[in-house]
Structure 1
Amino acid sequence: MKIAAFVPVKLKNERTPGKNTKRFDDGTALITCFLRTLVHVPEIDELYVFCSDEAIKNYLIPGVKFLKRPEFLDTNQATPQDIIEAFMKQIEADVYLVCHCTSPFVKAERISECIGKVCKEGYDSAFTAEKIQRLMWYNGEPLNFDAANVPRTQELPAYFNEVSAAYVFKKETFLSLHRRIGLKPYICEVSGIECIDIDYPEDFEIANAIYMHLICK
């Protein structure tokens, strides 16, 4: 069973310009930091960075291949499904992983766990997610509790917020459903700093502080 993983990257981002190659204070780029985790996932047979700009090669490490993608995948009109489909047309595999470097602190063991659930335990897909049990409001009304009888948070229903470090799926799952999460997914729970997801400049500043603390310990 061949397992292929890829990190989709575009070098121009609207919300946080250049975030994928933005450097922490020690000079390490975000994408490089994440690739250092992925190369330690033993189940992965082939690992790619899927990018339209060959300048990304400057940030790769041994064990990672560059795969050029069409420039139209960098536009706002391109969907995650379009990107996955384009990769699958170029690289043949039985199981695919889509990994996003904007969640740089997810451990390699979590990704291995996702792969194992899909390859060995009958799940058609798996993904990393943060478990949320909080008092939620929507449009001025309590969403998941009775305001007149407020429960303990541990008694609230659990919701799961996707953490984009890893989406694992079988080839046939995507081909039949045209999506990265199938009908029988395994949710791999992550917590703490593993839940960090970089969307905005302030998110990167938080990630930088955590990263620098970790390497200076």
Structure 2
Amino acid sequence: MMKDKMKIAALVPMRHHSQRVPGKNYRPLAGRPLYQHILDTLLACPEIDDIVVDTDSPEILEGLDRQYPGVIALERPESLRADDIPMNEILLHDTAQVQADLYLQTHSTNPLLRAETISNAIQALVSSYPAFDSLFSATRLQTRLWDELTRPINHNPAILLQTQDLPPVYEENSCIYIFTRENLLRRRNRLGDRPLMFKMEADESWDIDEEIDFLIADAILSQRLK
């Protein structure tokens, strides 16, 4: 298979309800429903062939039908709507509905993610496939980390280095995953045997999980859009 001919589908799961930030996926952020920001970002990526939204939200389904007719809408089955359903089971369902060589998964809760960054991630994996068989995005941390037993993880407390001189560690930030259905079926995991870590900037990796995250993302995006 020619690398430049690989079909790529973007998967964006969106729940109707949210425990910590009620209605966050369709709540207005920077003047528009939250979910619209990631869809517009994905639409600006020329490498992506299909965009697929898996949701149980009547409001989002109606919005997709009205404003995003080119986006594939999958209504999530009742059997996959419980809070304790693993994301990998939802992805297995979605990848069975839409054929692609590679699947990119992101979230509506990553509204600060830029199209250029997504394109760069796709190109990074495609250019190194199959030496690397999957990709995940990560954010560099240079700060003093401790475990719950008060043991230093990445520094020697007896040597007070400036934080910028500490050896970096990397946090999996859940912004971008790229994988094949074959690996998802075999491992029940988005990461294959040889994942590529894609490093990205912290200002794009903000994930909306709490109310304070929503307020900060709204302020940052509103300023960016000006």
Superposition TM-score, scaled by structure 1 size: 0.91
Q: Over residues 124-145 of structure 1, what are the superposed CA-to-partner deviations in whole Å (9 max), with x where a residue is unaligned?
A: 1112211112111223332221
Contact 2:133 2:195 in 1 (8 A): yes
Where does structure 2 lack aligned partners over 5 or more consecutive residues? 1-5
1:133 alignment partner AA = Q
Provide the C-alpha distance between the structure 1 equivalents of 2:63 and 2:166, rounded to a whole number of angstroms. Answer: 43
Provide the C-alpha distance between the structure 2 equivalents of 1:31 and 1:94, rounded to a whole number of angstroms. Answer: 25
Q: Over residues 38-96 of structure 1, what are the superposed CA-to-partner deviations in whole Å (9 max), with x where a residue is unaligned?
A: 10111111111111233212433433221112123221220011111111121222111
- 2:168 matched to which residue of 1? 158
Where does structure 1 lack aligned partners over 5 or more consecutive residues? none
Q: 1:11 to 1:115 in 2, by over 3 A?
A: same
Cα shift at 1:35: 0.8
SS in 1 for 2:183: helix
Provide the C-alpha distance between the structure 1 equivalents of 2:107 and 2:38, rounded to a whole number of angstroms. Answer: 8
1:2 aligns with 2:7: yes
Contact 1:118 1:170 in 2 (8 A): no
1:13-28 → structure 2 map (5 Å cutoff): 13-26=18-31, 28=32
| Further displaced range: 85-94 or 55-64 | 55-64
Provide the C-alpha distance between the structure 2 equivalents of 1:150 and 1:14, rounded to a whole number of angstroms. Answer: 41
Contact 1:114 1:186 in 2 (8 A): no
Cα shift at 1:156: 2.6
1:129 alignment partner AA = A
SS in 1 for 2:29: coil
SS in 2 for 1:163: strand
Cα shift at 1:160: 1.5
- 2:38 matched to which residue of 1? 34
SS in 2 for 1:137: coil
Q: 1:25 to 1:113 in 2, by over 3 A?
A: closer
Cα shift at 1:25: 4.6
Contact 1:39 1:64 in 2 (8 A): no
1:10-159 → structure 2 map (5 Å cutoff): 10-26=15-31, 28-60=32-64, 61-62=67-68, 63-122=70-129, 123-138=132-147, 139-159=149-169
Contact 1:125 1:184 in 2 (8 A): yes
Q: How many aligned positions are there?
A: 215
Superposition TM-score, scaled by structure 2 size: 0.88
Work out which of the residue numbers 199, 208, 224 in structure 2 matches 1:214. Answer: 224
- List structure 1 segments (4+ residues) > 6 angstroms apart after TM superposition: none
Provide the C-alpha distance between the structure 2 equivalents of 1:35 and 1:71, rounded to a whole number of angstroms. Answer: 24
Q: 1:72 to 1:157 in 2, by over 3 A?
A: farther
Contact 1:32 1:59 in 2 (8 A): no
